[in-house]
């Protein structure tokens, strides 16, 4: 009953992000689009007026935070697909919850929905395939003819928490149930690190948040979208925080994981949530060896970085220049087409930008990353360098 299809859950969770928009671009737990580092640097160049160079620029506190923020998503949605039972209980916790029942083929679908007190909840037909930020409309796109099926949605402005009961009075086929339990607990899912060489593996984290309180004792599992089976079980590593280790050795490109969470609020209400998050994985074919040289010339503070690559391709290096107390100063980048072997890439931090910071020494190199960008999405090398203190001063 709760099997999640490739198409339905993908559309629902992507569109549902519209309910929490504007924060995703700031790397909060909303659904974030996967963005390459070169694309981010291009955005930076567009925001900066000086210096007019593509390999270096001013680093702001906002940019630094963006560099270090995890890929994350959040959801107040749960989905029950291919429901054949005549009676189904729906756990509702949010006062602004909306419930949708959908059949792709049955235009005469007749469903009764009752609240926890037994009161009738009106359901009204909702237009399908509309170009609007509405999860209930978007889930029907591509599913049968818009003239054949039926989408019914609650329109009560305020819902009370508890178990709602759906009774199917007439249906020619199984139905899908989509619940946006807005106002109730949220499922937050994140990767502390994303886009790194598959040999390192990765950990997926999650938490159920009821207001400011984390929900402990929940059951969570993750699976690759469309995959069958029990999935990967999460462990509660600390109160209200859950994690699972993913073997990424067989993954390549962008893989979507679906996370299901079941639990209870501190008040005893049942909670069901489904979340979605994308993982970038693959082979970097590169190793970041380390800093081998630094010097100051008339225009730049340059840092030479030694790398080793095992396949011909395009490789990209970036890093941030910080003060001794983590003051953001500048960023720099270098990219070259390389053949297999050892090479040196050079970061040029503009003196003009460094002078503007008011700092003349005590610099450190941080967030130093090597990425294979031969194909997109780019894959980062397993190694990363943070807080490498430089000897140079202006």
| Domain range annotation of the chain | 6-20+77-180, 286-389
Residue 155 has a pLDDT of 86
How many angstroms separate the CA atoms of 118 and 161, rounded? Answer: 13
According to the model, what pLDDT value does residue 126 have? Answer: 85
Question: Which pLDDT value is given to residue 261?
Answer: 97
Q: For position 28, what pLDDT does the model report?
A: 33
pLDDT of residue 12: 41
Burial 53-75 (b: 16+ CB within 10 A, else e): bebbbbbeeebbebbeeebbbbb
For residue 45, give the 3-state DSSP assignment.
helix
CATH 2.60.120 fits 6-20+77-180, yes or no: yes
- DSSP per-residue codes, 269-334: -EEEEEEEEEEEEB---EEEEEEEEEEE-SSEEEEEEEEEESSSEEEEEEEEEE-TT--EEEEEEE
Average pLDDT rounded to a whole number, residues 205-230:
92
pLDDT for 95 beyond 80: yes
Residues 6+ apart with CB under 8 A from 232: 204, 221, 222, 223, 244, 246
pLDDT-derived band at 227, boundaries 50, 70, 90 = confident
Q: How confident is the model at residue 188 (pLDDT cuts 50, 70, 90)?
A: very high
Chain-wide mean pLDDT for the chain?
87
- pLDDT reported for residue 146: 66
For 125-167, the pLDDT digits (tens) are 987 766 665 667 776 776 777 678 899 999 888 999 999 999 9
Mean pLDDT, residues 335-356: 98
Q: What is the pLDDT of residues 262-293, one digit of tens each?
A: 999 989 999 999 999 999 999 999 999 999 99
pLDDT at 29 over 60: no
Task: Give me the mean pLDDT over the 4-20 stretch.
Answer: 40
Q: What CATH number labels 286-389? A: 2.60.40.3870
Per-residue pLDDT, averaged over 321-345, amounts to: 98
Contact 97, 181 (CB under 8 A): yes
Question: Does residue 283 or residue 32 have the better pLDDT?
Answer: 283
Strands 235-238 and 186-191 turn out to be unpaired
For the cut 70, the answer to whether the pLDDT of residue 306 exceeds it is yes
Position 43 scores a pLDDT of 59
Among residues 219, 374, 361, the alpha carbon closest in space to that of 286 is found at 374
125 or 20, which is more confident: 125
How sure is the predictor about 258, in pLDDT bands with cuts at 50, 70 and 90?
Answer: very high
Residues 228, 3, 144, CA angle at the centre, nearest 5°? 115
> In the predicted model, what is the mean pLDDT of residues 78-89?
93
Closest CA to 100 of 129, 126, 132, 66: 126
Q: For residue 22, what pLDDT is reported?
A: 30
Per-residue pLDDT at 342 exceeds 70: yes
Strands 202-210 and 241-246: antiparallel
- 240-249 pLDDT tens trace: 999 999 999 8
Report which listed range, 24-33, 77-86, 309-318, is most confident.
Answer: 309-318
pLDDT band at 50, cuts 50/70/90? very low
Q: CA angle, corner 373, sides to 370 and 375, nearest 5?
A: 150
pLDDT band at 9 (very low <50, low <70, confident <90, very high): very low
Over residues 73-96, mean pLDDT? 94
Q: What average pLDDT does this structure show over 78-97?
A: 94
Above pLDDT 90, what percent of the chain?
Answer: 71
Residue 203 confidence class, pLDDT cut points 50, 70, 90: very high
């Amino acid at each position: 009953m709760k099997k999640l299809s490739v198409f339905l859950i993908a559309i629902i969770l992507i569109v549902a992000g519209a309910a929490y928009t504007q924060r995703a671009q700031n790397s909060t737990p909303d659904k974030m689009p996967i963005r390459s580092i070169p694309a981010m640097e291009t955005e930076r160049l567009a925001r900066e007026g000086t210096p007019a160079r593509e390999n270096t620029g001013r680093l702001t506190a906002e940019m630094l935070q963006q560099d270090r923020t995890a890929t994350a998503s959040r959801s107040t949605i749960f989905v029950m697909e291919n429901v054949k039972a005549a009676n189904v209980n729906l756990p509702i916790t949010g006062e602004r919850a909306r419930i949708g029942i959908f059949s792709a083929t049955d235009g005469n679908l007749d469903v009764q929905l009752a609240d926890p007190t037994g009161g009738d909840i009106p359901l009204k037909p909702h237009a399908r395939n509309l170009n609007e930020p509405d999860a209930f409309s978007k889930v029907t796109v591509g599913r049968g003819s818009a003239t054949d099926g039926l989408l019914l949605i609650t329109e009560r402005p305020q819902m009370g928490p508890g178990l709602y009961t759906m009774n199917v009075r007439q249906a020619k086929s199984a139905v899908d149930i989509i619940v946006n339990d807005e106002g109730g607990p949220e499922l937050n899912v994140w990767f502390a690190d994303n886009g790194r060489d598959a040999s390192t593996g990765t950990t997926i984290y999650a938490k159920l948040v009821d207001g400011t309180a984390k929900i402990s004792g929940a059951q969570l599992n993750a699976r690759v979208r469309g995959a069958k089976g029990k999935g990967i079980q999460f462990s509660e590593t600390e109160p209200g925080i859950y994690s699972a280790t993913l073997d990424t050795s067989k993954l390549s490109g962008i893989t979507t994981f679906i996370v299901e969470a079941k639990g209870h609020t501190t008040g005893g209400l049942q909670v069901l949530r489904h979340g979605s998050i994308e993982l970038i994985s693959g082979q970097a074919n590169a190793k970041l060896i380390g800093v081998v040289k630094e010097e100051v010339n008339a225009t730049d503070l340059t840092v030479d970085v030694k790398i080793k690559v095992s396949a011909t391709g395009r490789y990209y290096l970036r890093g941030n220049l910080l003060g001794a107390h983590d003051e953001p100063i500048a960023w720099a980048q270098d990219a070259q087409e390389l053949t297999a072997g050892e090479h040196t890439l050079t970061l040029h931090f503009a003196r003009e930008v460094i002078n503007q910071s008011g700092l003349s020494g005590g610099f450190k190199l941080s967030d130093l990353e090597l990425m294979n960008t031969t194909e997109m999405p780019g894959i980062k090398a397993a190694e990363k360098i943070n807080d490498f203190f430089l000897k140079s001063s202006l």
